[in-house]
Structure 1
Amino acid sequence: MKTRCPAAPLGLVLFGLLLLDGSVLFQTYAVDVEVKDASNITCLYAKWMMNISITYESESNGFKKTAFTLPEQLTYDGSSCGNDTKGPVLAIEFGKDHSWVISFTKTADTYQGSISFTYNTNDTELFPDAKKKGLITISANYPERPVQLNTVFSCNDVDFIEDDNVRQDFWNVSLQVFLEDGFRSSNKTLCDQVTVPTATVPTTTVPSTTTEPNDTTSSPSPTLPPEENPATGKYSVVNGTAACLLATMALQLNISQKEPLIINFNPNTTSARGSCGATSAVLELKDKNNRVVFVFAARAQNAERYYLREVNITVAESTNETLFAGNRSLNYWDTSRGSSYMCRREETLVVAPGYKINIFDLKIQPFDVEDGQFSQAEDCIFDVDNFFVPIMVGAALAGLVFLVLMAYFVGRKTHRNAGYEQF
């Protein structure tokens, strides 16, 4: 077996930008791999970008989420072109006993992959306080539907598979297995096509894949800036049967990475999910292919206060590009435990250069929610008041000193005048 990795020694392309002493994360990973047989003929070609997020139970009996991309150091032991009874296999190992393996099978006309992803909760960097220790494996099919032989499976939009508590996001996918004579096909099977149903199910349409005769693909119309502010939505995260996180907000993304891009989240099409723990909480809002993840944490030096520590943004700008930015060192919305945070005025969160979030009519409580109701709110107006208090106190003291001095000089002058008259 030979693995050709034209862009990097380990088949991994890393485009990274670390700013503010490493506090801002803005990076994208791409896998670019060819698996060849002993005759140097390609049997598998794969190129994609990928994020993995896992929800796990912590030692405090709460649930936390860890999210990561494939690291820089990868090994491909176990990858092969297969044989007469077994199809090609791409095996990736990384970190502390984590592995991601996709095995392919074919019929007379199609091929399909089966993913086996194993993660190790003994890895304290990814799972610092996991209650269950050891290796956990999940399986899923990808692509979701069989792909026509002698075509390249192509998916530029964000595509995902989700099994229990593991979600795998893929985009900019280009994949072909069982290549004829080792050459990639010029035909494509797209992931985002829809077929018209047969007469037996006249009221529904089902997603499917169709074969494209050439490399041209249509792109959606560019997103135009909304003319109005976003609508306000109400969101919650449920732990068991009770809400553990409450949020009300109007959410707008402002991205100027290239052309200005403004995206309003629509509460009617936005879904919310997340997790709640003793010291951290996660709120994920997703509207179509656009997603924002808020991560809250208790302060290390004062557990009686919490703040917004991290934000991740994923935007499917077009069929050709997905934008991602994150910041793990934020310091917004500092609030006392047992209270909610409220801000009626517009707030702007700077996540990374060219990535901002505009938030209106905000009220949020990620900890200590009781009976599904917000607790007493700490208003952001106090942040402004606190800024002016020292100035007002200083001005008052200066005025008092001025009055004392004036009284002194007036009194002294009066005393001197009275003395002259007596003389």
Structure 2
Amino acid sequence: MKGSHALTALIIAWFAVLGCTHAVTLEVREGNSTCIKAEFSASFSITYNTSTSVETVQVPLPDSAEVDAGSSSCGDGGGGLLWLVAVFGPGHTLGMSFSTNGSLYSVANLTLQYNLSDASVFPGANSSGVVSVVSISVGISAKVNTTYRCLSVATFDVGGATVTFSDMRMEAYMPGDDLSSTESVCMADQASTTAPPSTTTAAPPPPPPVPTAAVQPNQGWYSVNNTNGTNCLLAQMGLQFNISVFSVSQNKTVREIVNLDPGLTNTSGTCTDSRATLVLMQERNTVLNFTFTLNSTKYHLSGISLTANWPGMTDPFSVTNNNLDFLRSSLGRSYMCNAEQMLVVSPDFSLNTFKLQVQPFGVTTSQFATAEECQMDQDQMLIPIIVGAALAGLVLIVLIAYLIGRKRSHAGYQTI
């Protein structure tokens, strides 16, 4: 009880020193021009080691946070990479880099830097110094000359820590000094907005037809390496996206089924003792992120995020769910499922997997450890066993009936 009171006092002290968790406004300027402007609230969940345990702290981004002019940058003015870096407290920073393809801009990297020497935030830490973690893609993107708006809470994995945003409005590659009045609204806000009533008396359109299933995707091989170059995560699987998007040409919501092509996909990710991520990027218009979590001796797929900008979309598709419980297995073993699985991430997005085998923890070689099979594979193996046993039983019954009948036939012709 005393320990919990002490921790509460430290958190209160942190709030007192760094300020409240109101939304902050950050602006990156070069000369008289603004290239990035952001308004949002943020907090961070960080796990660290003490001499006796593993602790997790919740750190708010205070309203006293300021733009680090030395690290922030408007690039070369020709559509290159932009940087927004906010500093707060003794050695803590939150950074975002932005990239553009001319029609869209997106957060290319989300970085978090925290100082374990700050005893007011990390009491009893058994190490000191600054830790830097990075997420390659977080699914934040918008059309150029529009404001990205996401009032909903969104949580992102950043190298084992988590960053939570809310009440976000921001714009990069700005033509002026103020945020655009035209907004690109995130999917979470769109889902929570009630559609306006129809002004026509026509009958409502029929529900969108279920599309014909695409050809089964090719199986890809993916791996993530530690800093020393050895494998820390192994995966092989075929992946298929199943999403609902609004089609302007058809004026209705349609369902798209798209396969991930392993030959056009780049792999990245990170590994820690309790969290591992696998990031798959296909031709810069599709980014899929898996997050695996280890609890004691069991691991599972705890998060999936997808950002897609496919032809025909009015806005980029983005969804994140960090409260999943799929692909559960034991430390030191791989998870395998040859059968098709549907991993439901949101009402608008599910991920279909084919011939999947994955091992995010306890990798010691470049080969999978002994596999734990999914229930569907076990059921498929059980069916032929049951059928075979039934056929064998039927043959045995026929054979017994034949022998009994033959014995009775011989009994009717005894020798005189």
Q: How high is the TM-score relative to the length of structure 2?
A: 0.50
The higher-RCO structure (CA 8 Å, 6+ apart) is: 1
Q: How high is the TM-score relative to the length of structure 1?
A: 0.49
